[in-house]
Amino acid sequence: MQTAIFVGLSALAVYVVKLVLEFHRAVASVGNHPGLRQVFSTVLRNRLSTVRNRRWFTKHLDFEKHGWDGITDVCAWPRANKGIVLADAAAIKDVTLSRARFPKPVHRYESLVFFGRNIVASEGDEWKKYRKVSAPAFSEKNNKLVWDESVRIMADMFNTRWNNADEVTIDHCVEITLPIALFVIGVAGFGRKMSWKEDTTVPPGYTMSFKDALHTVSTGTITKLIVPTWAMGLTKHLRHVKAAFNELDVGFLNFQRLLIQIVHHPYFQAYMFDMIKARKESERKEERYDLFSQLLDASQDGTEDGGAQMSDRELIGNIFIFLLAGHETTAHTLCFTFAMLALYPEEQDRLYQEIKSLMPDRSRLPTYDEMNSFKYSMAVFYETLRMFPPVTNIPKMSAEDTSIIVGNSAGATTAIPCPTGTYITIHTPGLHYNPRYWSDPSSFKPERFLGDWPKEAFLPFSAGPRACLGRRFFETEGIAILTMLMSQYKVTVKEEPQFAGETFEERKTRVLNSKPGLTMTPIRVPLTFTRRAFTSD
């Protein structure tokens, strides 16, 4: 027995020594540059803790602590691994523009291919194909459709959902921003309108509405990645997440049926494959500018001229990505926007005064041609995106032995060695809260976006060739919704007796509390919307 224990302890000691040596070699391989030294790998930290929340909460503090806007991140177990974390605008620009040197580690996005290969989870020639087919869909005509439908949906919400009430109280703002975003992507993405009255409909054969299923999948993706399949039925929450994935079909076929709730809502007349087949075989009798039609046309045109072509499954995979990314990012960003305006009434009043000056007759609807005139709406939207970037880290990796030049607040620069296989993280909160680029970065100051501002230090849509295709779609929708709502209603934080004695900072922390998800997710934003008096303001 003693011999066995001795042998076991000796083997453990050898293993530990090996780990320590490999750890020190990893530190040396990145030039002993200062940074984070961790026991567990990034993957394990993702599973055992909320590392993305840590990046959100620390923002620029880790960079200030180590004296550089590029730091290293080296772990010891289960094997030594190294990474470089960036909050330096020049270094980030170099990384995002050098796709060959710093490709996207697409294996980290495998969770997003259960509906089909897509532009987010691809690289190289596959990504080029998806980009070529998808880019024409995000056209100026589609943007106008986005604006017009966003305005229509908001007017319908005032009249149908809120019944033009003088006061509307919402327990969590995503209760309105989520369906708004989903309705917009429904019509501008798929060419089919959904109404507020149909919002809660659960079709025969399903256990939840499309809105609820899609929202649960988007917020429950991390849960599904962490929790083993056999454990998905152990709690009520896990069973709900499992049911939502079943509704949206991780197995793919049910997803075709579920998408019909948007494409042929509320009548289930065809499967998605049938729609694709019918569209490919039919003559184009009318010009349609929704993403679904444009994507099909672009793929079909590629076939005719020998260019890019997608399979039906690839079409559905990309459609799903645009649907998922489009609805959640918008819903969460708008939720944070309304929260910030409720917390900072002086900024809300400035926004309203601009809207009122541009729209003295607030009974009319703003037009797409006027979008660029709503400068403070855009400034408020951008400031929210700066303070609450949807994605807190953008991963890259080094495809060759190279180096990355980083700077600091003193104006010095240094080169960090970057061996092949090194993971690189673009730390969005670190960049957005970096005082080198943003004065008083923790304060909500939309006016900073009215003049010259550091565009290379603003990355809510990523940058370089892989920057978000749907940026203009997203901005158009957001500005239309924000302008419409602020023109009609004033927003305040809902008064609740249990929070009567809290300070402003306590209220701010509570209302802006968030959790990791596919995008930055607000936990609970309780708001009250009070109708503005048209004749006395």
Structure confidence by residue, pLDDT tens digits, 142-157? 899 999 999 999 999 9
Range among 12-16, 71-75, 217-221 rated most confident: 71-75
Segment 162-220, tens digit of pLDDT: 999 999 999 999 989 988 988 888 777 766 676 777 555 676 666 776 556 656 766 66
pLDDT at position 287: 65
* Mean of pLDDT values over 280-305: 65
Statement: residue 261 has pLDDT above 50: no
Question: pLDDT tens digits, residue range 412-436?
Answer: 999 999 999 999 999 999 999 999 9
511 touches 383 (CB < 8 A) = no
Max mean pLDDT among 243-257, 349-363, 412-426 falls in 412-426
Beta strands in 428-536 (DSSP E): 489-493, 514-515, 521-522, 527-531
pLDDT at 126 over 80: yes
Question: Which tens digit of pLDDT belongs to each residue from 23-52?
Answer: 999 999 999 999 999 887 765 555 444 445
DSSP character for 285?
-
Q: Are 508 and 407 in contact (CB under 8 A)?
A: no
Give mean pLDDT, residues 303-331. 73
pTM score, whole prediction: 0.86
The pLDDT, as a whole number, for residue 518 is 72
Q: In the predicted model, what is the mean pLDDT of the chain?
A: 83
Asked which of 17-21, 31-35, 97-101 is least confident by mean pLDDT, the reply is 17-21
SS3 77: strand
pLDDT of 105 over the 80 cut: yes
Q: What is the pLDDT of residue 258?
A: 40
Distance CA 244, CA 241 (A): 5
Cross-strand bridge partners of residue 402:
418
Domain ranges of the chain: 2-110+392-423, 130-390+460-531
Q: Count of CB atoms within 10 A of residue 166's CB?
A: 11
Instruction: Tokens 């984070």: give the residue.
Output: 36
Q: Does 13 have pLDDT greater than 60? A: yes
Q: Does domain 130-390+460-531 have CATH number 3.90.1170.50?
A: no
Q: What confidence category does residue 327 fall into, taking pLDDT thresholds of 50, 70 and 90?
A: confident
Q: Is the pLDDT of residue 255 over 80?
A: no
pLDDT, tens digit (0-9, with 9 covering 90-100), for 494-516: 999 999 989 999 999 999 999 87
Percent of the chain exceeding pLDDT 70 equals 80
Q: Give residue 535's Cα distance to chain centre.
A: 39
* Residue 497 or residue 139, greater confidence: 497
| pLDDT recorded at residue 253 | 37
Residue bearing the bigger pLDDT, 456 or 238: 456
Query: Which among 469, 486, 468 is positioned nearest to 537, based on CA atoms?
Result: 486
Question: Is residue 468 part of an annotated ligand binding site?
Answer: yes
CB 112 within 8 A of CB 77: no
Q: What integer is the mean pLDDT of 393-420? A: 96
Q: Which residues are CB-neighbours of 352 under 8 A, at least 6 positions away?
A: 486, 487, 490, 532
List the structure tokens of 308. Answer: 């890019």
Whether residue 264 is predicted with pLDDT greater than 50 in this model: the reply is no
Half-sphere exposure of 165 (CA within 13 A, CB side): 12
Q: Which amino acid is at 167?
A: E
Among 514, 452, 532, which Cα is nearest to 59's?
514
Rounded CA gap, 66 and 71, in Å? 7
